[in-house]
Amino acid sequence: MITIHLKDLEFFSHHGVYEEEKILGNSFIVNAYVCFDVEEKINNIHQTINYVSIYQLIKQRMHIPTALLETLAQEMAEEIYRFDNRLQSISISIEKKHPPMLNIKGSVCVNYEKKFI
């Protein structure tokens, strides 16, 4: 089993339920972990899951405004699986750096995990 980690990917996007989030936007951190099984030594890019392509899918999806981070994480996971169905599992976490909550000194994060086998 191989796990590829895409860690601490930074984006500025317009996700959220509240109108000010949709207008002003927010900073987000995305982490993705994709797992797949291998039976032989990997010698070329076609034998693995291309993390550059995974990053591009995440980047494209992060620029589509979505009300809920839960929805965003689920849809992102499904898009990545459609791209490469060799995946056995995926974990996506999306952190909103500055949530619109009074007196909060921190962030909020949603994590979604799915097994495909």
Kindly report, residue by residue over 2-24, the tens digit of the pLDDT: 999 999 999 999 999 988 888 88
Task: Please tell me the pTM assigned to this model.
Answer: 0.90
pLDDT at residue 100 is higher than 90 = no
Kindly report, residue by residue over 32-77, the tens digit of the pLDDT: 999 999 888 888 888 899 999 999 999 999 999 999 999 999 999 9
pLDDT given at position 9: 98
Using CA atoms, how far apart are residues 37 and 111, in angstroms rounded to an integer? 22
pLDDT given at position 44: 86
Using CA atoms, how far apart are residues 92 and 88, in angstroms rounded to an integer? 14
Domains and CATH numbers, the chain: 2-115 (3.30.1130.10)
pLDDT at residue 101 is higher than 80 = no
Using CA atoms, how far apart are residues 63 and 11, in angstroms rounded to an integer? 8
Question: Would you say how long the chain is, in residues?
Answer: 117
